[in-house]
Amino acid sequence: MANIFPHKHLLSASQLSKSDIHIITTRAQEFLNSGISTTPKYDFLRGKTVVSAFFEGSTRTKLSFELAARRIGADVLSFTASASSLSKGESLIDTLNTIDAMGVDMWVVRHSFSGAVDFMSGFSDCSFLNAGDGQHQHPTQGLLDILTMQQHFGDLTGKNICIVGDILHSRVARSTAILLKTLGANVGLLAPGTLFPHDVSNWKVSQFRKIDDAVEWADALNILRIQRERMASGLLPSLEEFSNFFGVKMKHLLRKPDLLIMHPGPVNYGVEIDHDVARAVQSVIQKQVTNGVAVRMAVMALLAENIERI
């Protein structure tokens, strides 16, 4: 496989080849193997400044990007939209230009509008990392999901991975499904009809309407949060009804004890996943969080090396 990472930005999982994914997950695993929480820090981003700009809420992605940037030597500028001059009417592009003028090198951006990060990258010379844009993409979440599955299964070719829940609103589903297919895994989706994406026929995946069928088929379940904040009325009769028919419960794990349980967080316990399932030995939810720091270190280090090469 080629050992060059040919990208200035990471905007979408669809830009990554099999070789790119291999380079990222290999580098992330090397960081994990060498103990990412110990000193001395790496210096891939020494002398560089990373802007962490979250226009929408986040715990895992924001903090792990900032930790990852510091662990590879960057200075980090943390921008919080609600405490900024956006509230005085300053535009997104004026905000970008203002922070760029301070002398920064890399932007990590989350925004509630699909396409916002791609749009911003057209107004700057910096590298851009998409930390989640609307319902579109969340590529580093997809990559950390892949690393977590590879740690458990090894090669993902031919593995059956079912994404469960609110697929319609999920940028995680869109990123993870693309990466899994690039790596030769089989992707399944389990959701009520109203929460399937409208273009699902283009996804070329298996579709399930009954949780028992999905559990029988799958090697792993990647369970998604019901995104109440993006939900139009009428998509679900009730959360209780969703939980009864699509929620993952201990009875499913008892039926299939080697089923891997994943969730990108944040979790709605008792809706898409029961508390005891999230805490079961088959669950790698906390490992996903740990892997997120290593994957983000890897992506930022590779982008920085690539910028130096160009």
Whole-angstrom distance, CA of residue 187 vs CA of residue 162 = 6
Residue showing tokens 């956006």: 86
Among 6, 158, 266, 270, binds ligand CP (CB under 6 A): 266
CB of 303 to ligand CP, least distance (A): 19
Among 28, 32, 117, 132, which residue interacts with ligand CP (rule: CB under 6 A)? 132
Output the six-digit token pair for 16.
Answer: 């990554």
Work out how close the CB of 193 gets to ligand CP at its nearest, in angstroms, rounded to a whole number: 25
- Minimum distance from CB of 122 to ligand CP (Å)? 24
- Quick one: 135 or 141, whose CB is closer to ligand CP? 141
265 binds ligand CP (CB under 6 A): yes
Residue 209 near residue 193 (C-beta atoms within 8 A)? yes
Contact assessment for residue 56 and residue 174, using Cβ atoms and an 8 Å cutoff: no
Structure tokens that stand for 2 in this block: 């080629």
By CB under 6 A, the residues from 269 to 298 that bind ligand CP are none
Q: Is residue 6 involved in binding ligand CP (CB under 6 A)?
A: no
Instruction: Tell me whether residue 227 or residue 282 sits nearer to ligand CP (CB atom).
Output: 227
Nearer of residues 175 and 182 to ligand CP, judged by Cβ: 175
Which CB sits closer to ligand CP, 150 or 176? 176
Q: Are 72 and 41 in contact (CB under 8 A)?
A: yes
What per-residue string of b and e applies to 229-241 under the rule 16 or more CB within 10 Å gives b?
eeeeeebbeeeee
- Do the beta carbons of residue 21 and residue 183 sit within 8 Å? yes
Stretch that binds ligand CP, among 7-15, 74-82, 259-267, 278-286 (CB under 6 A): 259-267
User: Does 60 contact ligand CP by CB under 6 A?
Assistant: yes
Residue 51: which residues within 8 A CB-CB, separation 6 or more?
A: 76, 77, 79, 99, 104, 106, 107, 108, 126
Is there binding between residue 137 and ligand CP (CB under 6 A)?
no
Residue 58 as a binder of ligand CP (CB under 6 A): the answer is yes
Contact 139, 182 (CB under 8 A): no
Note whether 141 binds ligand CP by CB under 6 A.
Answer: yes
Binding site for ligand CP (CB under 6 A): 58-61, 132, 141, 264-266
